[in-house]
Amino acid sequence: MENREDLLRWTSHPLLDEAVKTIFLIAIMVLVSMILYQTAIITWKAPIYFYLGMLFFIGSMITWFIPTTYILFDDKIQIWYWKIKLERNWSDFGCWYTDKKGVMLSTFKRPRRLDNFRGQSLRFSKDKHEQGKLFELLAEKVGERY
């Protein structure tokens, strides 16, 4: 990670933070894999569909299983998904609002339905110790809160 002075840093790890949801998720994953195995390998006799299906299925939920580190700098935000780094400039965002998991940074001046695809979600840690400082920084860097 960078050696610059960061304004705020925290890590969110849903796998450990939300044990009941994790158990439910793993049970659903086992059920889906059994159905996919029965369909792709037993019925169709095409194991490639099983492996591709499981790859896409597990890949879509990978952020639940790996810790995510958020680092806020003066000019940008960095998000680390294990070894993968995502950077976004503060100028990319027009407004922000809280949601069920944390904060959504919107690329528009007002909240839109496209925020899940174009915006950036910042998930709180379990104890939400970063919430107050994060709200102050977002008010300064992004602007309007909805």
Question: Measured in Å, how far apart are the chain's first and last C-alpha atoms?
Answer: 32
Residue type, 99: D
Check residue 143 and give its pLDDT. 84
Q: Is 134 exposed, middle or buried (0-12, 13-18, 19+ CB in 10 A)?
A: buried
Check residue 1 and give its pLDDT. 58
- Note whether 99 and 84 are within 8 A (CB): no
> Which of the two residues, 25 and 143, has the higher pLDDT score?
25
Check residue 68 and give its pLDDT. 97
H helical segments located in 47-95: 47-59, 62-65
33-85 pLDDT tens trace:
999 999 999 999 999 999 999 999 999 999 999 999 999 999 999 999 989 99
Check residue 4 and give its pLDDT. 78
Q: Which two tokens stand for residue 114?
A: 């496209």
112-139 pLDDT tens trace:
999 999 999 999 999 999 999 999 999 9
> Which of the two residues, 48 and 100, has the higher pLDDT score?
48
Q: Is 130 exposed, middle or buried (0-12, 13-18, 19+ CB in 10 A)?
A: buried
The CA-atom distances, in angstroms, between 114 and each of 92, 107, 108, 117 are 14, 9, 9, 5
Give the span between the Cα atoms of 105 and 47, in whole angstroms: 41
Q: Is the model's pLDDT at 3 over the cut of 80?
A: no
